[in-house]
Amino acid sequence: MDFELEWTPEQEAFRAEARAWIEANVPSIPDHPDPANLTREEYELQREFGRRLGAKGWLYPTMPAEYGGGGLSMELAMALEEELDRYNMPLPPYYDTGGKLGGIAILVWGTEEQKAHFLPMILRGEIRTWQLLTEPESGSDLASVRTTAIRDGDEYVVNGTKIFVGSSHGAEYSWMIVVTDPDAPRHENLGWLMMPMDLPGITVEQMDLLFVGGERGAASGIKNTVYFDNVRVPAFNLVGGEGNGWKVAGTHLEIEHGLLRSAVRDDPLTERVFDYARNAKRGGRPLLEDQDVRDRLVDFYIDAEVTRLLHFRNYAWRGQGKQLTYEGAQAYLYQKRGQLSKARAVLDVMGPQALVEAPDEWAVADGHVEVHQRGAIVDQHPGGTAEIQRVIIARRLGIGRDVREEPGRLR
């Protein structure tokens, strides 16, 4: 076993090239602890940088080059991400579920024409894409969605409501799960649709929430309700064929359930919390003199490390071509629950100061700590709750069943 990559001279050369290019092209955008504070101007800079990355195939470096991806190996993609990380810049540098989730679904399930049409604009960064899954009556039970897309000639007519959608600053496209045949049996009644967001009949409205975090590299800013009122979309945009929406969803859900992380890095919160603890005092004495403070920090560290290692295992095994089953959901579950226990450890160590929001002078670590206090709660639900991860783990391990559930198709 080898827990570190050894870089070849060729790979190091690529890294040097990437570093130089990034240095020349990367925009300077403040690191907002709360992504909701990203301005429209800053967002446009991100998009512009994305298009430049896309032109080189570096926006989605491991996706096939023929559709605008980079066609790069996992190792080179990792080098690229590490270099971007110096500027605290994720890949893509804005919230875009187009390539991360939808792109793979299109790659696996799309017709040649659909791939040729949709993938290049996604992978080159020409469009940014939201995902539209959850509805007021359909959360964990995604297959019970009610938004309909009824075929009418060469178009589908879409009606319904999606919630917890997207981010700030809009999107050019969304992909969504819809009911194409209200009379068909469960799981056979669905379609998977690429929806241009500028069609008539679409209304986007911001939700009022405790917080909207967004994971690293997917900082979403805000969430919206999206209403569809007789929206007419070309039938061409249905990917995977009528009645196959659940299978197509299986592909992007497989990624979302724990395989979204690409290169695996240390959680930057760890060092922020440790820094605080090393410098803080109570009653004039170092905070670290308290054994329970040290214990809590160690708990924190272990949570972060185990999460890192499980994601790392998954990343490495995917690279080695080993079939993953329960491991994605396991890492995701660990990550989610780890956020909660880390949030409590932080509150225990810092006291109410952990609850002070930037830009207040008392905010810890420029507000990253307060954002984490809120985000840890909110992070429990997107991409499937902890309970849903447990459902997946149980089925994939074959607990109580002789036949284990198969993972969704990834190629």
Nearest approach, Cβ of 303 to other proteins (angstroms)?
10
Nearest approach, Cβ of 282 to a second copy (angstroms)?
15
- For a second copy (CB under 8 A), the number of binding residues is 4
Pick 35 or 103: Cβ nearer other proteins: 35
Residue with tokens 């695996």, as numbered in its chain: 264
Q: Between 327-350 and 368-378, two packed helices, what is the crossing angle to 10 degrees?
A: 140
Contact (CB, 8 A) for 158 and 178: yes
In the stretch 288-327, what mask flags binding to other proteins with x, by CB under 8 A? xx--x-xx-xx--xx--xx--xx-xx-xxx-xx-x---x-
Site for other proteins in 106-135 (CB under 8 A): 134
340 is an interface residue for other proteins by CB under 8 A: yes
Structure tokens at 232: 């007419």
Pick 28 or 291: Cβ nearer a second copy: 291
Rounded Cα distance, 42 and 21, in Å: 20
Q: Give which of a second copy, other proteins, none residue 309 binds (C-beta under 5 to 8 Å, depending on kind).
A: other proteins
User: Taking the CA of residue 393 as centre, how many other CA atoms within 13 Å lie in the half-sphere pointing to its CB?
Assistant: 16
295 is an interface residue for a second copy by CB under 8 A: yes
Q: Which of 112, 292, 361, 402 binds a second copy (CB under 8 A)?
A: 292
Which residue, 231, 135, 146, 153, is CA-closest to 190?
Answer: 146
Nearest approach, Cβ of 126 to other proteins (angstroms)?
31
CA torsion 36→40→45→48, rounded to 10°? 110
- What are the angstrom distances between the C-alpha of 161 and each of 47, 101, 164, 290? 27, 21, 10, 52
141 is an interface residue for a second copy by CB under 8 A: no
CB atoms within 10 A of CB 365: 20
* Three-class DSSP category at 149: strand
Q: Which of 207, 229, 266, 323 binds other proteins (CB under 8 A)?
A: 207
Q: Between 268-279 and 368-378, two packed helices, what is the crossing angle to 10 degrees?
A: 130
Q: Give which of other proteins, a second copy, none residue 3 binds (C-beta under 5 to 8 Å, depending on kind).
A: other proteins
Q: Give which of other proteins, a second copy, none residue 2 binds (C-beta under 5 to 8 Å, depending on kind).
A: other proteins
Site for other proteins in 4-43 (CB under 8 A): 4-5
Q: Which of 28, 230, 291, 320 binds a second copy (CB under 8 A)?
A: 291
Pick 172 or 357: Cβ nearer other proteins: 357
* Three-class DSSP category at 87: coil
Contacts with a second copy, residue ranges (CB under 8 A): 290-292, 295
